[in-house]
Amino acid sequence: MTSVLEKTTLGGQTPAAPRSMSAADRKRRVRRRLWKIGAWIILGAVLLVTLFPFYWMLRTSFSTNGALPGQSTNLLPADFTLDAYRRVLGLSTVSDSLQQGGSTASINFWIYLRNSVVVATVTTVFQTLFSAMAAYAFARLRWPFRSAVFALFLGAMLVPPIFTTLPNFVLIRDLGLLNTYAGIVLPGLLMSPFAIFFLRQFFLGISTEVEEAAKIDGAGYFRIFFRIVVPMSWAPISTLALLTYIGSWNDYFWPLLVGQNENVRVLTVALGIFRAQTPNGSPDWAGLMAATFIAALPVMLIFALLGRKVINSIGFSGIK
Amino acid sequence: MSTTSSRLQRSERLSASRPALSAFNRRETRAALLFVAPAAIGFIAFFVVPAIRGVGFSFTSYDLFSAGSFVGFDNYARLVTDSVFWNALWVTLQYVVVNVGLQTVVALLIAVLMHRLTKSMLVRGLILGPYLIASVVAALVWLWILDYQIGIFNNLLDFIGLDRQSFFGNPHLAIFTVALINVWKSMGYTALLLFAGLQTIPKELYEASSIDGAGEWKSFWRITLPLLRPVLIVVLVISVIGSFQIFDTIAVTTKGGPVNSTRVIYYYIYDLAFNRYEFGYASAMALALFAILAIVTFIQLRVTRARDNDLA
Amino acid sequence: MKKQRLIAAAMAAVAISGALAGCSASGTDSGDKVNLSYWLWDANQQPAYKACATAFTKANPDIDVTVKQFGWDDYWSQITTGLVSGTAPDVFTGHSSYFPTFVEKHQILPIDDVVKADDINLKQYETGLTAAWTSGKKLYGLPKDVGLAAMYVNSDMLEKAGLTADDLSNLEWNPKDGGTFEKTIAHLTLDAKGVRGDEPGFDKSNVAVYGLGLNGDGGGLGETIWGQYAESNDWTYLDEKGGKPHFNYDDKNFLDAISWFKGLSDKGYMPTLEQAVSGIGQQDSYGAGKYAMISEGSWSASTLFGYKDVKSIIAPLPLGPSGHRASPANGLADNIAVTTKHPEQSKKLVAFLGSKDCQSLVAKQAVVFPAIADLSDATKKAYEAKGIDISPFLETVDKGDIYSSPSVANWAEVNAIMTPAMQAYLGGSAPLDSFVDANKQVNALYN
């Protein structure tokens, strides 16, 4: 409570009540700004932790193995060199390789890159196609036991993969398909419970008008599916294809079991093997980082080009 | 237009009711079966049959080279007394709790921050980066960064004056290191999931609460969290199931060591089947894991469903 | 839209045809020529065996040999996958720890017929080597090399410490106080301030150069790591009791040896296990001047002498309480996979690899010691040409101070128990008597 004296000595300025409102406002504004600054700092720290390893991967891949221990805190490459990439891409001689701390095994990441592309592409194309077809049947067509079969397919999602992986290995072995592309892609080629679930949700959401009109015009189910439904659902289908591609590219466990041979070895498996290659026991760190960069690059490129789709798609899959 | 819509209404009414078997259009059924055929073949050939075979293997001493003999419940009896199996379950549990727990908290933090600060595509894209690379790639990069002797993180610790830590060689730290690597890898994806969930919360609620004088913290607890619950539950269930499958990171870094402290269940099964030729025993263990996961998921769903009912 | 689909379909078609064509690992044949595939894991030996392969093809023009190398971890998983799927190499380098399992599961072929037919003299090999590759009275491989252990010492550091090579020739160790061996190690250890391990003020938490390096836990074998100490303490890995193996990891002599060994780490003369298994391996650490001495195999000599900044000499292993040294004498041999499509040609190759013709080529490369006793002089000369004096290795063989590694079925299981046990003890998280329990578990495997 201001006294009469204080009121007069304030020298004709605005009365007390409005001033306290602006002070509280200022307090709130300052607090909000502090929160914002703090939040940005935290977000910045998160981004730093997220991105630093990628930078470090690059930095090490351009370094010389021998110089690494001595310059371990140098943020720039230690003795900049392209040797690591040469070793990894098979452009380096065996003796050079040994001298630089690498191994003598003929590594040729071009082959492994090719293998990853083949496996990921074949898997994506067929898995998406067949899953879309099945999803359409579940969403739009009426047939006996439809919901029971769907529940069965979904149940497959809850089974830990290793339970079927071991016998699948034996199956692929018995078919004589170990160390072939067919052996690697076959189990995932024909269906994926998640893909069917994902696409069925979409198909359910599409309006039936156009389909009904086509049906009345006498179009067969296949025509309706390929000429109408698929083009209409191109967004979710291509997003699914993208996710499938990335998933297949990064797969490790199954290709490790059935695709060890050089001709069909994919990048992830090659990385694991590369880690254990050097005769002296110390990993060829620069080469290893170069190899991981090469393994990660294609996915990063695809993401840079088509990333918007992936980012926007994250949300549908989670909530439903 | 009106005739089409009335025809539509009629067909909708028909499909809405539960049709008898005879009501199924032959042509439609045949088309449906053709559509489902590839997926069904895949399902039977690479899922059902192997599952049955897996159960079969678990009762034998199959070792990949020869047929092996029928051993009845021996493999299961061995499971009960196998201390490495129970250790594997314990190690996996530690991993799951730390990984899912930390990941959810961090992802929630990131999601809320992004929600309040920026919806920029660039930031979202950058956050998602680690999720896109393979687990083995992430594992190898962190193996290098966290190396005891020449990794930059330990050099940093040294510089600050803290002790160097052997992240992969210390049995007390190894499994948590693996968990943290996977938190790093997946927190971006989980954050985006939660972020999408946050988008569905009406802005008016926040505006109303800020007029009422509630601070950031209060509105988080009173509005954000409760409304995000359904998304959080889905995220948790999926994360837990996924976490049990941890393998890649361990296969290229610690290989189950040191002192079995990272010998998670998936790695143990793999090691038994392919390095020690005990395929039959490994199959039994896989079946046991299936049973355990089924129970865990059942419990999870029960608990969360009960919570939902309470809320309602 | 359509174009994308067409392209996708085209890619798929190409990929499928590639997949259906299928690619396999075993040798392919063109016409009458047979192509054998031969695998090994030691990259250092690859040039030597490539030379042998060329010589073999010269003598047998209708048989080609492709030599492939894989790192140790990768090697055995690929052999297994290959055997399981019928695509294993025709001939591969075998190891004594896998030998009994492969015999038991009928995965390798005996070679008695070719020994008889070619009249191969089994006595030309160093004593005990052929026995390691015999099972059930059948021989499964011809010994091709002998792996021994010794100490590699940084000669500059030796000089600065005021010691000579002679001082190292008769070191002794014992579990109580480590003897002259431990004193030497301590003297060679330097902390960050230059104080030696046996001088007052030595700071064991800040060591710059360790007197003795460490290469890992060694699992159940401890070859070149602790095996030489345990075995020179009147101890053997196992005995045969009633036809079954009985392991001795609970024996007092073993426990004393391991406890003394760990003590070296505790005192700061040897790195901890954590340090040993991280980013830089023992060899590279030695090459970087971080270890003054390391115990390593004869197969690493050329690598260790190849470090530019380190001049090395070889010293014998220390004498133990038994009054003898104990070097592992591990002989490798080449095995023929049962899945081979060319057994006759494979047997020819194995016979050649075990012959003087091939082994003298290997001796010239100076990367391993061939198994044929006569070639030891030639080997010595080849190594001398590289500046390496291998007499300490050869002396152990001459004196019979050697032991062979256990060769039992289910060794993988034994190792699965002993590796965590050894890691736990050396890493400091389990007490010494944890080995008693581990030994019980190991022996339970054979009941």
The phi-psi region of residue C400 (left if phi > 0; otherwise alpha if psi is between -120 and 50; otherwise beta) is left
CB within 8 Å: B258 and C420 = yes
- pLDDT tens by residue, A167-216: 999 999 999 898 899 999 999 888 888 888 888 888 888 778 877 888 78
Q: Could you tell me which residues come within 8 angstroms of residue A251 by beta carbon, excluding any fewer than 6 positions away?
A: A266, A268, B134
Contact C311, C154 (CB under 8 A): yes
C138, containing H or E segment: strand C138-139
Say if B87 is an interface residue toward chain C (CB within 8 Å).
Answer: no
C-alpha closest to that of B58 among B41, B82, B75: B75
Q: Along the 447 residues of chain C, how does pLDDT read in single tens digits?
A: 455 555 445 454 544 544 444 444 444 455 678 999 999 988 788 889 999 999 999 999 999 999 988 877 778 888 988 898 888 999 999 998 889 989 988 999 999 999 999 888 898 998 888 888 998 889 999 999 999 999 999 999 999 999 999 999 999 999 999 999 999 999 999 999 999 999 999 999 889 999 999 999 999 999 999 999 999 999 999 998 888 899 999 999 999 999 999 999 999 999 999 888 887 889 889 988 999 999 999 988 988 998 888 999 999 999 999 999 999 988 899 999 999 999 999 999 999 999 999 999 999 988 889 999 889 899 999 999 989 999 999 989 888 899 988 888 888 889 999 999 999 999 999 999 999 999 999 999 988
**pLDDT > 50? residue A318:** no
The answer to whether residue B42 sits within a structural domain is no
pLDDT band at A46 (very low <50, low <70, confident <90, very high): very high
Residues 198-257 of A with CB under 8 A from B: 208-209, 212-213, 216, 220-222, 225, 246, 249-253, 256-257
Average pLDDT over residues A221-226: 83
Min Cα separation C239/chain A (Å): 33
Contact C114, C347 (CB under 8 A): yes
- pLDDT tens by residue, B225-237: 888 888 888 888 8
If you write DSSP's letter for every residue of C282-326 in order, what string do you get? Answer: HHHHHHTTSEEEEEEEGGGHHHHTT-TT--EEEEPPPB-TTSS--
Reported as half-sphere exposure (CB side, CA atoms, 13 A), residue B129 has a value of 17
The answer to whether residue B7 sits within a structural domain is no
d(CA B222, CA B215) in angstroms, rounded, equals 11
Give me the torsion for CA of A230, A231, A236, A241, rounded to 10°: 70
Residues of B in contact with A187 (CB under 8 A): 42, 46
If you write DSSP's letter for every residue of C321-359 in order, what string do you get? Answer: TTSS--EE-EEEEEEEBTT-S-HHHHHHHHHHHTSHHHH
C-alpha closest to that of C331 among C237, C415, C404, C226: C404
d(CA C126, CA C225) in angstroms, rounded, equals 24
Cis before B226 (ω within 30): no
- pLDDT tens by residue, B46-59: 999 999 999 999 99
If you write DSSP's letter for every residue of C373-393 in order, what string do you get? Answer: GGGHHHHHHHHHHTT---HHH
Sign of the Cα torsion B108, B112, B117, B120 reads positive
Three-class SS state of B245: coil
CB within 8 Å: A273 and C74 = yes
DSSP state of C208: E
DSSP state of A90: T
For residue B116, the model assigns a pLDDT of 81
Q: Could you tell me which residues come within 8 angstroms of residue C386 by beta carbon, excluding any fewer than 6 positions away?
A: C302, C305, C366
pLDDT, mean over chain A: 82
Q: Could you tell me which residues come within 8 angstroms of residue C135 by beta carbon, excluding any fewer than 6 positions away?
A: C99, C100, C103
pLDDT band at B16 (very low <50, low <70, confident <90, very high): low
Q: Which superfamily is assigned to C149-328+410-444 in CATH?
A: Periplasmic binding protein-like II (3.40.190.10)
Q: Could you tell me which residues come within 8 angstroms of residue C341 by beta carbon, excluding any fewer than 6 positions away?
A: C26, C27, C90
- The minimal CB distance from A279 to the residues C23, C43, C78 is found for C43
Contact C204, C271 (CB under 8 A): no
- Tokens read off for C40: 């090994």
Position with higher pLDDT, B303 vs B162:
B162
The answer to whether residue B177 sits within a structural domain is yes
Q: Could you tell me which residues come within 8 angstroms of residue A205 by beta carbon, excluding any fewer than 6 positions away?
A: none
For residue C228, the model assigns a pLDDT of 95
Say if A308 is an interface residue toward chain B (CB within 8 Å).
Answer: yes
- pLDDT tens by residue, B101-149: 999 999 999 998 888 887 788 888 898 899 999 999 999 999 999 998 8
Rg (CA), chain C: 24
DSSP state of C153: E
The phi-psi region of residue A11 (left if phi > 0; otherwise alpha if psi is between -120 and 50; otherwise beta) is left
Other Cβ atoms within 10 Å of A222 Cβ, number: 12
Which structural domain range is residue B122 located in?
Answer: 83-311
CB within 8 Å: A47 and B123 = yes
CB within 8 Å: B247 and A46 = no
CB within 8 Å: A273 and C43 = no
d(CA C405, CA C230) in angstroms, rounded, equals 12
- pLDDT tens by residue, A53-80: 999 999 999 998 878 877 777 888 888 8
Cα C410 to Cα B134, B275, C413, C442: the distances in Å are 35, 11, 5, 10
pLDDT band at B21 (very low <50, low <70, confident <90, very high): low
Residue of C nearest to B262 (CA): C420
Average pLDDT over residues B210-238: 80
Q: Could you tell me which residues come within 8 angstroms of residue B307 by beta carbon, excluding any fewer than 6 positions away?
A: B229
- Tokens read off for A320: 């439903």
Cross-strand partners of C91: C38, C336
Three-class SS state of A135: helix
d(CA A71, CA B150) in angstroms, rounded, equals 9
Residue of A nearest to C6 (CA): A125
How far out from the chain centre does Cα A247 lie?
6
φ, ψ for residue A190, nearest 5 deg = -90, -25
Among the four given CATH numbers 3.40.50.720, 1.10.3720.10, 1.20.1050.10, 3.40.50.10300, the one describing domain A109-276:
1.10.3720.10
Contact C383, C69 (CB under 8 A): no
- Tokens read off for B39: 């997926």
d(CA B120, CA A113) in angstroms, rounded, equals 33
For residue B59, the model assigns a pLDDT of 93
Type of residue numbered B140: L
Contact C299, C282 (CB under 8 A): no
For residue A7, the model assigns a pLDDT of 41
Longest CA span, chain A: 102
Decide: pTM greater than 0.90: no
**pLDDT > 50? residue A10:** no
In residues, how long is chain C? 447
The answer to whether residue B178 sits within a structural domain is yes
Min Cα separation A318/chain B (Å): 6
Which strands, in side-by-side order, build the sheet including C149-154?
A: C190-191, C207-212, C291-297, C149-154, C312-315
Count of structural domains within chain B: 1
d(CA B260, CA B174) in angstroms, rounded, equals 10
Position with higher pLDDT, A145 vs C226:
C226
CATH code of the domain in which B189 resides:
1.10.3720.10
Residue of C nearest to B147 (CA): C279
Cα B25 to Cα A133, A275, B22, B28, B35: the distances in Å are 19, 59, 8, 5, 15
For residue C281, the model assigns a pLDDT of 85
Say if B61 is an interface residue toward chain C (CB within 8 Å).
Answer: no
pLDDT, mean over chain B: 85
- Tokens read off for B154: 């330990």
Min Cα separation C103/chain A (Å): 22
- Tokens read off for C242: 């009633």
- Where are the domains positioned within chain C? 31-147+332-394, 149-328+410-444
Position with higher pLDDT, A39 vs C2:
A39
CB within 8 Å: B135 and A252 = yes
Contact C184, C378 (CB under 8 A): no
ipTM of the complex: 0.83
d(CA C439, CA C238) in angstroms, rounded, equals 11
What percent helix, strand, coil does chain B show, rounded to 5? 75, 0, 25
- Chain A, chain B: beta-carbon pairs less than 8 Å apart: 299
For residue A19, the model assigns a pLDDT of 52
Position with higher pLDDT, A24 vs C413:
C413
| Fold of domain C31-147+332-394 | D-Maltodextrin-Binding Protein; domain 2 (3.40.190)
Min Cα separation B178/chain A (Å): 15
Q: Which residues of C331-356 are buried (b: 16+ CB within 10 A; e: fewer)?
A: bbbbbbbbbbebbebbbbbbbbbbbe
Position with higher pLDDT, B11 vs A44:
A44
Type of residue numbered C10: A
C-alpha closest to that of C334 among C92, C137, C28: C92
**pLDDT > 70? residue A123:** yes
Say if A27 is an interface residue toward chain B (CB within 8 Å).
Answer: no
